[in-house]
């Protein structure tokens, strides 16, 4: 596991305009510096939603199921560049078409993120990265039946409700 606490993130306003820059460590220290992230919800043509399993060694929400792809936008990257990079890194998918659903501010006790949430329909092969503990497709009914049972990350649950899947 690499130490990337010195990686630089843009600090933005709620419209995504860059105000300054800060390290990953500063953004995750409780400073509440607003920084942008991308999420991709991957559906198959049957309407099932792919979720990744967070490994037990993660410092945030270990062992929980989460949005298929989630990652920070690095300083100098556009939303689209970050989305393509993260999807390739996390799921090995290079050829996909996504649609921006919404953007919103998510705040936890440690950080504050401007989330750009996208969705795609994809029936090709998925190769989860070694940084994940695998993943699988879930029916919407199966997800709803497991909400509030410590199965999913709080971030995924709030976004799932927000997006009305």
Q: The tokens 């750009």 sit on which residue?
A: 116
**First vs last Cα of the chain: how many Å apart?**
34
Average of per-residue pLDDT values in the chain: 94
Task: Read off the pTM.
Answer: 0.92
The string of pLDDT tens digits covering residues 93-138 is: 999 999 999 999 999 888 899 999 999 999 999 999 998 999 999 9
Distance from C-alpha of 18 to C-alpha of 59, rounded to nearest angstrom: 27
């Amino acid at each position: 596991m690499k130490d990337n606490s010195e990686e630089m993130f843009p600090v933005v306003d709620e419209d995504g305009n860059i105000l300054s820059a800060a390290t990953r460590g500063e953004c995750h220290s409780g400073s509440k510096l607003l920084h942008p992230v991308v999420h991709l919800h991957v559906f198959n043509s049957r309407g099932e939603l792919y979720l990744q399993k967070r490994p037990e060694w993660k410092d945030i929400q270990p062992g929980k199921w989460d949005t298929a792809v989630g990652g920070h936008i690095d300083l100098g990257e556009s939303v689209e560049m970050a989305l393509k990079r993260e999807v390739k890194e996390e799921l090995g998918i290079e050829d996909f078409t996504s649609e921006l659903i919404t953007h919103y501010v998510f705040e936890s006790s440690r950080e504050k993120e401007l989330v750009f949430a996208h969705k795609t329909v994809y029936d090709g092969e998925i190769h989860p990265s070694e940084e994940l503990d695998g993943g699988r497709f879930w029916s919407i009914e199966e997800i709803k039946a497991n909400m509030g049972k410590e199965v999913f990350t709080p971030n995924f649950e709030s976004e799932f409700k927000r997006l009305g899947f």
